[in-house]
Amino acid sequence: MSQTRIDRRFAACRSEGRAALVTFVMAGDPDPATSLAILKALPEAGADVIELGMPFTDPMADGAPIQAAGLRALAAGQDLAKTIDLVRAFRAGDPDTPVVLMGYYNPIYVHGVDRFLSEALAAGVDGLIVVDLPPEEDPELCLPALAAGLNFIRLATPTTDEARLPVVLRNTSGFVYYVSVTGITGGAAPDFNAVGRAVSRIKSHTDLPVAVGFGVKTAAHAEAVARNADGVVVGSALVDTVRTSLVDGRATEKTVSAVTDIVRSLSAGIRAARAAAAE
């Protein structure tokens, strides 16, 4: 593959001596217009890479906050076609920030793989994270995505052993997403010492950046993860911030700023890790 926006962004963050902040929000949550406003505001607040959730009725890897965000989006009429349109609208004003679609295979399968890849690429999508397609199913989506020029980002977990890790990494591109806890999104904070050891182990197998997510909620968490990882992924904290900003289930004038406030805090935490390392 030729170099992608994801490759360039991680390289730029590395040249600054810091980890990248990868932010997850759900497409269409709490409504299409507010969702687009949040997307547009994320880069200025400090997001380096945006993961955009594809709403799905049965998100088996996700905890309550992301499950609720997906249901809000679905209730507002969001579907995969509208999610691709959302990326297109974002990309019209931002040619540089990488966008990764994250979710489950069912909506893509129903949409049609070839159609999905063509439309996603044309809209400005840079990569995919599809959590329920293991490496054994790479011909289903991973290999066609790579051939189309999209990064396919794979998850490694605390239970991915030395025998399994090379299989997971085989067709991974863009970055490796390390799941820092055994469980679902939005769970307990990770053991940061264990995360550091895991990142080192993964890096012994690949030159790809390693981003760490699941359980990262605060600036202090972000700072701790950024001491060892190339990227810090935060999702549940952001979508739960959307939820708490709503009144009677609807967006308020505080919804977008509530999200950007926490993103600025997380970004400051990552930069604090860089400053500490320089001392």
User: On the CB side of 223, how many CA atoms lie within 13 Å of its CA?
Assistant: 14
Q: Is the pLDDT of residue 185 over 70?
A: no
Q: Phi and psi (nearest 5°) for 123? A: -80, -20
* Residue of 24, 33, 30, 90 lying closest to 53 (CA atoms): 24
Mean of pLDDT values over 42-48: 98
In this predicted structure, the answer to whether residue 182 has a pLDDT above a threshold of 70 is no
pLDDT value of residue 189: 65
Pull the structure tokens for residue 134.
Answer: 């293991």
pLDDT tens digit sequence for 122-178: 999 999 999 999 999 999 999 999 999 999 999 999 999 999 999 999 999 999 999
From the list 7, 31, 51, 230, the catalytic residue is: 51
Asked if 137 is an active-site residue, the reply is no
Average predicted confidence (pLDDT) for the chain: 94
Query: What is the pTM for the complete model shown?
Result: 0.95
Tell whether the model's pLDDT for residue 4 goes beyond 60.
yes
Does residue 276 carry a pLDDT above 90?
A: no
Catalytic status, residue 51: yes
Residue type, 174: G
- Give the C-alpha separation, 222 to 262, whole Å: 11
Task: Give 11's pLDDT tier (boundaries 50, 70, 90).
Answer: very high
Share of the chain above pLDDT 70, in %: 95
List domains and CATH numbers for the chain. Answer: 5-278 (3.20.20.70)
